[in-house]
Structure 1
Amino acid sequence: MVIANDGRGWLLPRGVLAVASAAALALWRQQPGGGGGGPAALLLAAAPYAILFLLLWCLRAFERAAGAGEAAAQGRLRLVVWLLSSALTVMFAARVAPLMPGTAAVLVWGMSAATVCGGFYMLDLFALHRRADRIN
């Protein structure tokens, strides 16, 4: 199956629909009367989906800025994408690590730290090295 790209983008609307439906399901499954329910639990359940939605939106904006040749906008969006992806990584580790035995929890946090640092290098520092190589 071939999907034609008419310039409007087809991934973002489907991604938004998927994130919105997953967030609605997560909020629907929350039990406000149960242990730890209430507004704080709803906020914690919705936060990853909101961050994922913002990440998809920023990635689309980054693609548009790259197509228009706006280097300054790309730099700002690159930083925002790194911050949002780092927030998702830390939120995942914070939910998974308490369920693991001690050594595995340390491994989860170590892999999260490596992912955040590696993402910073690849999105920010590696791009600077590539630009310096083109100049020389």
Structure 2
Amino acid sequence: MAEFSWLTVLGFMFLTFNSGMAIYRSNGDTGSILFVGVSYLDLVALFACLRIYEGLDQHSPRRGRVKAAVWALTTLLTVMFSYKVAEIMPLVVKLIVWAMATATTCGGFYAFFIHEEKQPQYMAVPAAAKTPADRHDGST
């Protein structure tokens, strides 16, 4: 794996500082401390999983498990932040927030696990359609 860049280190320092300040300013509210702590740990785990995923071979058996972990961590963040936002909204807006969270979660599941990337039709050229000049094996 490649080493961390200074920008990555700076970003994590900023995230850690802001999380620490949010906990400090929570005035001992257990719910707020838990929210900030779990969000922080979730983000760190998400970034670690993404880094691992990028480093895996295309055909690695671990790829599916890491992809599932990424989806689960993003879903947890989506649900947590949706709960916090919906908590202070009127009923109609709460329904919209939860509908968007559901659509995001389901869309992510579809994109990660169901949708298969297909090669465009114009890219697939049958071997018989190639002219002799296109062949590199020396045959005519």
TM superposition score category, shorter chain reference: 0.7 to 0.9
Q: Which runs of 5+ in 2 are unaligned?
A: 120-140
Query: Is 1:27 aligned with 2:41?
Result: no
Structure 1 segments of 4+ aligned residues over 4 angstroms from their partners: none
Larger relative helix fraction: 1
Aligned pairs, how many?
118
Q: Deviations over 1:30-55 (max 9, x none)?
A: 102xxxx24x5422221111111110
Question: Which residue number in structure 1 is paired with residue 80 of structure 2?
Answer: 91
Question: Which residue number in structure 2 is paired with residue 51 of structure 1?
Answer: 42
Name the % identity. 31
Asked whether the 8 Å contact 1:93–1:112 carries over to 2, the reply is: yes
User: Deviation at 1:103?
Assistant: 0.6
Q: Distance in 1 between matches of 2:49 and 2:59?
A: 14
SS at match of 1:116: helix
Question: Which residue number in structure 1 is paired with residue 107 of structure 2?
Answer: 118
User: Deviation at 1:109?
Assistant: 0.2
Asked whether the 8 Å contact 1:19–1:53 carries over to 2, the reply is: no
Q: Distance in 1 between matches of 2:8 and 2:60?
A: 22
Q: Which runs of 5+ in 1 are unaligned?
A: 1-6
Asked whether the 8 Å contact 1:19–1:52 carries over to 2, the reply is: no
- Tell me the TM-score normalized by structure 1: 0.76
SS at match of 1:106: helix
User: Deviation at 1:14?
Assistant: 3.5
- Tell me the TM-score normalized by structure 2: 0.74
Q: Deviations over 1:82-119 (max 9, x none)?
A: 00000000001110002111111100000000000000
Q: Distance in 1 between matches of 2:48 and 2:104?
A: 21
C-alpha spacing 1:19/1:63, structure 2 compared with 1 (3 Å): same
